[in-house]
Structure 1
Amino acid sequence: MQNAQRAIKHYRQKRILICLAVALLTLLTTLAVRFISQRSQNQHQLQIAAVHAVRIIDKVLLPLEKQRAELLQLVGKPCEAVNLILRKEVAALQTLRSIALVKSGTLYCSSVLGDRNVVIHSVVADLPSDSPQLLLFTDNTLIKGRPLLLQWYPAADDAGSGVLMSVNIDLLSSLMLEPQKPLINSISLTVKDRHLSDASSVMTTLPVPPSDQVFSLSSTRFPFTVNLISPGITELALRSLPSQLPLALILSLLLAGIAWLATASRMSFSWEINMGIASREFDVWCQPLLNTGDKTCTGVEILLRWDNPRLGPIPPDVFIPLAEEHHLIATLTRYVISETVRQIEVFPQDPHFHVGFNVAAGHFVDGVLLRDLNHYWFSAHPHQQLIVELTERDALHDVDYRLIRELHRKGIKLAIDDFGTGNSSFSWLEKLRPDVLKIDKSFTHAIGTDAVNSTVTDIIIALGQRLKIVLVAEGVETQEQAQYLELHGVHILQGYLYARPMPLSALPQWLADHHQTLPLRHEGQPSPLMPQH
């Protein structure tokens, strides 16, 4: 039974490990899904922020482009005549700080300062230019050191003439250069090789902390790029994981509980036994019993072996107690009887050759055993003698004496297996009126070594002889044990000294090797292989 308890413990541990694995997998999967989802969400939010910033700057610059043709018509006209018009344009556009007219490389009129006479190249080194230019520039005239965003449109007939518009960079910064922490630490605007970040001064290099990453998006309309400086979508997703831990733990516990309930039947030995029966994984074996006088085989005890494809070979002292504990022993016995009947031709076709089955006490209740024997055994009309062996480890309650009488009426012999090891041996003798007592192997092994058990063996033998009950000794392994038992009147022996358990299919060859395909005859009649009384 200790082996059975170890098997149960093994299954319980396996079940716990599976539930822990489910919980851990759920925890990791949930955190991984949340990490990937948060990372994707961060990526999406960065994309939205960059698109939004580019769109704002585009909206600022598009009206300037629309007014380009109208303003270029003013180039060359006297400043007194166009200054008011320039001021009205600045007021109308709102996003502009000033508009300046340039003629032949000289800035001669400004919406803010009026008449001017400044060489444009001395103020902005990149101008004049024969193509439109967007420039980041540091103001050295009105508010020194302030950044400016300049838009230059050249005149069609004179590359040195054109319109220079200064965008209100302070307004622009408040619209698109505000950071959105923790996702965005800072936003910068890049035009050519110059950068503007958070309305600071114009720089030739973009300052990026070593731990941050840059996400850039360029405008499709104008030559500028918006840069989002962020800790990184992966880093931000990792930072968010602790907040996802409670949800992940709840899901883990929930799925672990579901796994525990789901494996209640499948992760148990009862499921294994049922699966083994359904898949015919159990093999029916037998062990011969010999008469000590003429060494003839009087019959066999049917045994069961289980080579479990999932767990490997499982010994009977493990699965039999577990089958009894899970109320599957009757089901297992039906399997044994049906498999034995299916291979009945391996036994000698003689009424004195007996076939013994182990039957649990619970199988006697409500006549279930008799119904099963009628269905599986007697329906096949076997010639062999049937012996029902009842193990003493079961408690036999409220015996139906009518069932016992009916079993005897049908010619079935009753045997008490492992006699002497239980707590109710003598009460069984009264209740069952058995035909056979099988002396447990522990008493057989004690012969010549253990004075106490040897004495008990002698008492059992004397009891069986006094009650005229056939005695069978189990576990005979030495010649000394065999001689002692034979000397004391035990003439049916079973053990490794004569034969080890074997598959049913091997029995005919074993009988042939021992020159016994049929029972020996005496005076023309077959000799009884199990003594009669």
Structure 2
Amino acid sequence: MNTDKINKPKNSPLYLVCFLFFLILSITLSISIIKTELNYMGELYVEKIDKVIRNVEKETILAIKNIDNCQVIEDKLLYSNDIRELVVVDNNNAVCSSKRGEIKEQFNLENDSDNLKYYLVFWDVEGKTSERTMALISPALNREGRVIISIIDRDYLIGGLFDINETNISKMLVDISGSSYPAESEFSSDYIHKISESNKYNFRVLIEAKRSFIYTSIIYAILISAIITIITILILYIALRKTKQRGNLFLDFQEGLRRTEFYLEYQPIVNARNCKVKSLEALVRWNHPTLGLIRPDTFIPLAEEKGLINELTDYILKWALKELALSKRFCNISLSVNIPPTYLTCNKNLSKLSYYQKQFSKLNIELVAEITERQLLEKSGIKTLNNLKKSGLRIAIDDFGTGHTSLSVIQELNFDYLKIDKCFTDTIGIKTVNSTVLDTIIELGRRLNVKIIAEGVETKEQFDYLASNGVQKMQGYYFSKPIPLTDVKLD
């Protein structure tokens, strides 16, 4: 078998598409996350500046209330945390300072504005752009031409709010009416950035992401993307492998029969009266050379679907006969083998079944054909079984009540055993609809005068119940799991 068909995916372009998709998605998401982070930080800085300006505004209102009493302004605002200096200007003449008291200085206010509005300006302390800070211009409503200039403390504003050394920001710019901080800087960025505006005051903040932050975010996103991609590819690979494996299993199945990869295990069927083993059921197993043990509920439906179930049945009959003949310690027992209804539609198969029945009979072993219910038993099959029974073949209806066998089939088929499926055995001690069906099946077997075999017996409670209700034979883990023939003990 060419194991490359299973172990090496041929869908590399598909996997590459998956990787590229997640890579692009991760970079896009990382940039989106970076912008979200910048937006959050921008709004946070705007909120902090707004808070400082609101505090300045409150202290300015205090000055407005005492606009004609410079001493009170000086006393109240000399040690303000927010205001470096508050100056009252009357018609371009400074008349009062919160630090210097009453003054008389020529004061030309370059920023002309509506006297009825608060507005912000950048203020260069002592004319130095390196000492740039903000100032709040406030109208004094009781006299035209009088304004109050509240110069915000630069160390508090710049040193506290604009310190970006410990952040993911490489550049922070503030714009007020076309002027910028830092001075002589252009309020723009060619890199990943975010601009946030104050809803109340006339300023904007531009925040540019630090390159190391962007690279780290993208690297993390790519790593996460790689993990997600690997998991996705693994899931896709497993799914594709299972799809391929089903096609490969069909070929492997044929090879497996040829290379005798299939082997038999036997589950003892005990007599309910004395618990002695008088019957065995042959069960096929597949030890795949690369996949290991493959469950029967995987390969048997595949064999049925692909038309190989008859070949598998031949294999089981052949090997069971060979093993029992070599053992020479099994006699006066019966051997149950599952026979699919399709096996009965071919004269060649019927001849084989008759042959094996005779060969087992020479070993003093009674062959029991268990008719599975996964496929419908047609009238021709019923007639064939009845003829085979006359030659000594014993017949059991397997898993009764779960498949296609109808009451009309039971009436027409001359059979020896009625097997109760495990799903009904499991209902013992539990009040369900199936528990009622169990009693009905037992009663039906009694009325038909056939022996009843209960499958899936796992507890003493189940054994006692079935035995007390007249079930003659049982099999299940309570007695033994399926085992090699060499491990079977008759007592």
TM-score using structure 1 length:
0.46
The structure with the largest alpha-carbon Rg is 1
